[in-house]
Structure 1
Amino acid sequence: MRIGELSHRTGVSVRSLLYYEEQGLLSPLRRPSGYRDYTEADIKVVHRIRTLIAAGLNTELIAQVLHCFRGDSDTPVPTCAEMVTELSAARDTMTTKIDDLQSSRALLESIIEAAPLQESPQPVPA
């Protein structure tokens, strides 16, 4: 499939897909015409990339983590044990962000609950 179809099927912009290729996260085949040719497996790779980005990993670490998956399996292979330190740090960063968001949410809720109910503005008599 061409890049436009991959973009459509994954919901990821063409620009992002080109960036992923630039960073070594995607490696499409090239047709003699120069067009990129993506496979069905690339759809799963793009979804993994998006999940890892959402988890707070940078593209350099994602490039290292992607080899931990075999084919269509969502289960990492044991060869990725050497990445435990980096992945643990990413998890800790994510946990901190979650804690911060929960604190912010609680603060907003307390402000909302403490605020007096606002009445609808009264129409001005004519």
Structure 2
Amino acid sequence: MRIGELAAKAGVSVRALRYYEEQGLLAAERSAGGTRHYPDTAVDQVWMIQQFYSAGLASRSIRAILPHLGSDGVTPEVLALLQEERERVDLMLVNLADVRDRLDTGIAVAAKAVGSGKRCPAETRTCGDS
């Protein structure tokens, strides 16, 4: 498929796909005219790249990990990188859960205040008013 079609199917910009290619994360075959052509599997690969970026992985880590996912041909260095990134993601999950809990507390307090008509601290309007 061409780059525009991949962008549409994967829900990313053409610019993002070119960046992934520059970073060595995505490969395309080129026609004689220089047009990029991607395999059908590229959609899933782009989604995986996006997930890794969302989790905070660097391009170099993604580049090292991608070829080894689902493969038994892993070096000790790649295994160490996989474990390191897993530990980092686990810590992020703990931190996100803490943020969620703080938001839940804030929501509970705010909902109670809105229901009672109580004034927000340091404000002159009623909690929940715009």
TM-score using structure 2 length? 0.73
Say if 1:8 and 1:84 are closer, same or farther in 2 by CA, change over 3 A.
closer
CA contact (8 A) 2:30 2:37 kept: yes
Separation (CA, whole Å) in 1 of partners of 2:54 and 2:71: 18
Partner of 1:92: 90
Say if 1:19 and 1:64 are closer, same or farther in 2 by CA, change over 3 A.
same
Structure 2: give runs of 5+ residues left out of the alignment: 118-130
Partner of 2:39: 39
Deviation track 1:30-72 (CA, whole Å, cap 9, x = no partner) reads 1111111111121121111112122221222111110112xxx
- RMSD over equivalenced CA pairs, Å: 2.2
Partner of 1:64: 64
- Number of matched residues? 114
Partner of 1:5: 5
TM-score using structure 1 length? 0.75
Structure having greater relative contact order (Cα 8 Å, sep ≥ 6)? 1
Say if 1:5 and 1:84 are closer, same or farther in 2 by CA, change over 3 A.
closer
Distance apart, 1:89 and its partner CA: 3.5
